[in-house]
Amino acid sequence: MTVDFEKMPKQPGRLKIQKRADLVTEEIKQLITQKNLLPGAKLPMERELQRLFSVSKSTIREALKSLEVQGLITVSTGPTGGATIIEVPLARTFQLLQNYLFFKEVSMEDIYAARRLLEPELAAGSVPFLSDEQLDALEHNIETCQPTSQEPSLLVRQRQADLDFHDILAAANPNPFLRFACELINEMLRRLVVFSTQTPPEEHTKFGCANVKIHAEIAKAARARDSERVRTLMKAHMEEASEYVKRLDGRLDGRLILDSEMAPRLRPLS
């Protein structure tokens, strides 16, 4: 169990010497993989981990911090406290991914190029798996989305609710990878899209109305379990939305996402 700290003094080759904390992090990861530790399982307490890997307090704390940042554990105080394995939260993954995209200058067109391809397939694939509650939620969401006012804050809320519709569909899809991709796109649109303040609010309202209309059709087709119609409608929806966003001068706000922004993410669904 103890780590073999072979540090060759001058390794001119590729692999750089890892820090002890990173080695310990890897050891713990291997432990998780090998012993098939599931979310909820607890790691030994700090003092024991120190003994286990023969490292000091600071080193084990850095290793735990690493795992915490990666979203693999949470650490709590008190008796029965310590590190608990958790399923990596989607929000955390999104944040880490956003770090990557921060340096890339992703445009709205870039996102929609992928969204156009994925969403129709996602929606069609979800249809057979939509529960009655989810179908209700889709219909209820449409009501919430009904554009009534042109107040700026309401327009933002409306766009949020609009994305919730797509998240409900995503939640029902059995393909975790496709689901993740679409949830990621939704999250990016939700958090990073900013519209030019110059565009007239009427345009926004028109956009909202168009969305509500096609969402209603999609919900109806979903209720009828007509996957192919859902696919067709969603395809049209994506084309249309893509055009609107372009006209409304939607841009992505390129910035790093902070943990503190992630907290209020707790929508009713999953």
Contacting residues toward DNA, per CB under 7 A: 7, 9, 17, 19-21, 45-47, 54-59, 61-62, 64, 75-83
The minimum distance between CB 38 and its own copies, in angstroms, equals 9
Nearer to DNA, 32 or 236 (CB): 32
Nearer to DNA, 44 or 200 (CB): 44
Q: Which stretch binds its own copies (CB under 8 A): 85-93, 143-151, 157-165, 233-241?
A: 85-93
39 scored as a contact of its own copies (CB under 8 A): yes
Per CB under 8 A, contacts with its own copies among 174-233 are 175-178, 180-181
The minimum distance between CB 225 and DNA, in angstroms, equals 44
82 scored as a contact of its own copies (CB under 8 A): no
Alpha carbon separation from 122 to 34, 48, 174, 179, 237 (Å, rounded): 33, 46, 9, 7, 13
Q: Which stretch binds its own copies (CB under 8 A): 109-117, 134-142, 155-163, 240-248?
A: 109-117
The minimum distance between CB 88 and its own copies, in angstroms, equals 4
Q: What residues line the site for its own copies (CB under 8 A)?
A: 14-16, 18, 21-22, 25-26, 29-30, 32-33, 39, 58, 61-62, 65-66, 69-72, 87-88, 90, 92-93, 96-97, 99-106, 109-111, 113-114, 117-118, 121, 125, 175-178, 180-181, 255-256, 258-260, 263-264, 266
